[in-house]
Amino acid sequence: MVYDDLTDNEWALVEALFHMSRIPNERRGRPRVDARGVVNGVLWALASGGGWATLSARFPSPPTCRRRFEEWLADGTIAELLRRLRTSGRDVPLRGPIGAAVVKKKPVVPAIQERRSGAFWITPETLRAPVAAD
C-alpha cells in the first residue's frame, strides 16, 4: 500500500500534540527519536493494516513506534491526532489489529510479562495464579 507522509501543513496542525520539553544533555542513552517520523510510522501501520514487524525501514524502529503508539493511545493523543487530520481533509483508514485497537478506544497494555508475588501475567485479563508444585 502506498502511504504519503504528513505534509508540512498537516504536521503544523498536529505538532503541538507531540511537543516535548527538551531533555538536558546530561541524560545518558540514546537520543529520543523525532516525533514526526514516529507519527508517520504509526499512521502507516494504521492505514496499511500491517503489523509492527512489517514497518518500513524508512520509519523509526518498530518497537519505538509501537511503544509510542501505546502511550499515545492510552492518553488520547491518537484520537486527537485523527480528529485534527480529518478536519484538514485527510482521512486515515483504520485497518488490521492496530486500527482495531483505536476503534475499541481502550488503552493498550504493553505485552510485557512480569512476575510479582508468584503471579504471572501479560495483561490484567490474563492474570494466572502460580501452579503449586507437587
Please state the domain extents for the chain.
Answer: 8-106
Identify whether the C-beta of residue 65 lies closer than 8 Å to the C-beta of residue 56.
no
Is the distance from CB of 46 to CB of 97 less than 8 angstroms? no
Does the structure show a pLDDT above 80 at 27?
no
pLDDT-derived band of residue 107, with 50, 70 and 90 as boundaries?
very low
Cell of 6: 504528513
Split at pLDDT 50, 70, 90, the class of 116 is very low
Query: DSSP states of 65-106 as a string?
Result: HHHHHHHHHHHTHHHHHHHHHHHTT------HHHHHHHHHT-
**Does the reported pTM lie above 0.75?**
no
Instruction: For residue 7, give the DSSP letter.
Output: P
Residue 100: predicted pLDDT: 78
pLDDT band at 23 (very low <50, low <70, confident <90, very high): low
Q: What are the grid coordinates assigned to 4, written together?
A: 504519503
Give the distance from CA 57 to its chain's centroid: 17
C-alpha closest to that of 14 among 31, 37, 48, 39: 39
